[in-house]
Amino acid sequence: MQQDRRLPAGSMSRPPANRLRSVARAGGRALQHLVINAFLLFHLLAITCWAIPFANPLTALSRSAVRPYFLWAGLFQSWDMFSPLPKSSNIYVEAIVLYEDGNTRNWAFPRMELLNLKDRYFKERYRKFVENLNDDAHAELWPDAARFIARVNNNRPARVKVVFLVRHWSAIVLRGDGSYDGAPWDAHIFYAHTISARDLE
For the chain, the domains span 17-73, 89-200
* Of 57, 59, 33, nearest in space to 48 by CA: 59
Confidence label for 176 from pLDDT (cuts 50, 70 and 90): confident
What tens digit of pLDDT does each residue of 159-168 get?
A: 999 999 999 9
The answer to whether residue 15 scores a pLDDT higher than 60 is no
The answer to whether residue 14 scores a pLDDT higher than 60 is no
Q: Terminal CA-to-CA distance of the chain, rounded, Å?
A: 97
pLDDT at 113: 87
CB of 62 closer than 8 Å to CB of 46: yes
The answer to whether residue 52 scores a pLDDT higher than 80 is no
Ramachandran bin of 178, using left for φ above 0, alpha for ψ from -120 to 50, beta for the remaining angles? left
Does the model's pTM come out above 0.75? Answer: no
Q: What value does the mean pLDDT take over residues 37-58?
A: 84
Ramachandran bin of 16, using left for φ above 0, alpha for ψ from -120 to 50, beta for the remaining angles? beta
pLDDT at 178: 81
Of the two residues 120 and 100, the one the predictor is more confident about is 100
